[in-house]
Structure 1
């Protein structure tokens, strides 16, 4: 399975992805809790300014984003990573996958073909309210490491929500796996 999250310049169809984070986990590894994960963490030049509210959420300045490569430079790597999983998980999957697929189409790439599961919808279906990611994580004593919403951390938290909903006894905090997980491609 792969869990994915994106941070964007805003919420409209004209907005663009500024970062993507994804974890790939073999379901066979869940039986012993070993968590041998692969991950993808990239930052992009969205070629537009972030809305002030989006910038407050993701924390990337325009000056940092302008130095980065375009999403299209990594489209094939991203689609290969996501489509190698049988199941793609996201919290608010409609939002994340709409942005991912729009960027992939714009780059002339294939779109996500794997089965998609939205952990936010799964929480709502289970009567868990509110279903915001942070609120759900609090229910099983997980929390964000800081105030900034990083795509990689949110992908990890969505994966842990999926495991919690499915009564998997093996879960790890983001802190347990994130010691040096900076974007692969970040230009400083």
Structure 2
């Protein structure tokens, strides 16, 4: 089964207030195993960047000024995610921005039935605990040492690991068959050349080895098998 863990960064909290996407990152999972395929784009929001938002993700308007607009990356994004379920933390937030941006450039919205919300999963599995992505990484031992600021691709990578844990733990991905299925299902998989068939090495003893063995046995004094022959 193919699923996409994704995250977004924005200029604010609500697209209906004029806020826009500035970054989107996606990680492909097949049978709960990361395949190595990723999608990542920075996006020019065509508006100012509030200082509060920049403090969260560190993306300045100067940095984003030469990046593509959302309508320029929308088709690439849709082609990457296909019809796969989309995993996000506090998914209603990300879906709201994503579908606003898609509608603004003439694309159909992503159906909410495809939404998998790890925040809702965490609240069900760990009631009363902290449910932020940082807290879940700590709970499950996911290394987040590189997460100095929020970043869509990094957060999607962390989220994919947290999602596996919330879904039942890493053991679900330990099967060799599952790993093999994930690699072969990825569009990035390139078949390798067939391995050459080698002639099996001989394992039977040579006549010389048998003679040396017989000579060694003849030197043994009163071996146990001579006193009590082994049963057939």
Q: Determine if the TM-score, normalized by the shorter chain, exceeds 0.5.
A: yes
1:72 aligns with 2:53: no
Would the aligned equivalents of 2:28 and 2:38 in 1 still touch at CA under 8 Å?
A: yes
Measured after TM superposition, the shift of residue 148 of structure 1 is: 1.1
Measured after TM superposition, the shift of residue 12 of structure 1 is: 2.3
Matched position secondary structure for 1:3: strand
Higher-Rg structure is: 2
Matched position secondary structure for 1:36: strand
Measured after TM superposition, the shift of residue 6 of structure 1 is: 0.2
Q: Root-mean-square deviation (CA), in Å? A: 1.7
Would the aligned equivalents of 2:48 and 2:61 in 1 still touch at CA under 8 Å?
A: yes
1:36 aligns with 2:35: yes
How is 1:1-188 mapped onto 2 (pairs within 5 angstroms)? 1-13=3-15, 14-27=18-31, 30=32, 35-85=34-84, 87-113=85-111, 115-128=114-127, 129-144=129-144, 145-169=146-170
Would the aligned equivalents of 1:134 and 1:143 in 2 still touch at CA under 8 Å?
A: no
In structure 1, runs of 5+ residues without a counterpart are 172-188
Kindly tell me the number of residue pairs found equivalent between the two proteins: 165
TM-score after normalising by structure 1: 0.82
Matched position secondary structure for 1:67: coil
Q: List per-residue Cα deviations over 1:66-125 (Å, max 9, x = no partner).
A: 11110110111112222331x210001000111111101111112223621100111011
